[in-house]
């Protein structure tokens, strides 16, 4: 899946992956996407909750080795 931006949040713990994701989304136009890569296992629940609360769309969530990858579309 092609994205407009990739955010490397590996090595960061809660709440930093969410805060960086929020900042990245603020810089995007509506309909654009960001891929977030994190190593924090808590980010799976956090990204889901974040998208539900902000209205942005979580297009995919998967684990790739020790990384958690999320693709979010800005609404």
Question: Where does the pLDDT of residue 62 fall: very low under 50, low under 70, confident under 90, or very high at 90 and above?
Answer: very high
Active-site residues: which are they?
Answer: 14
Question: What pLDDT is attached to residue 1?
Answer: 76
Query: What is this structure's pTM?
Result: 0.95
What whole-number distance in Å separates Cα of residue 70 and Cα of residue 61? 5
Domains, the chain, ordered by start:
5-73 (3.30.110.40)
Sequence-ordered list of residues with C-beta below 8 angstroms from that of 11, at least 6 positions apart, any chain? 39
Question: What pLDDT is attached to residue 44?
Answer: 95
18-61 per-position pLDDT tens digit:
999 999 999 999 999 999 999 999 999 999 999 999 999 999 99
What whole-number distance in Å separates Cα of residue 27 and Cα of residue 3? 14
């Amino acid at each position: 899946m092609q994205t407009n931006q990739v955010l490397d949040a590996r090595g960061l713990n809660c709440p930093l992956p969410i805060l960086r994701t929020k900042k990245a989304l603020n810089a995007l136009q509506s309909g654009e996407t960001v891929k977030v890569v994190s190593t924090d296992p808590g980010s799976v629940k956090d990204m889901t909750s974040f998208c539900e609360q902000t209205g942005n769309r979580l297009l995919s969530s998967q684990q790739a080795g020790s990384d958690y990858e999320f693709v979010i579309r800005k609404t």
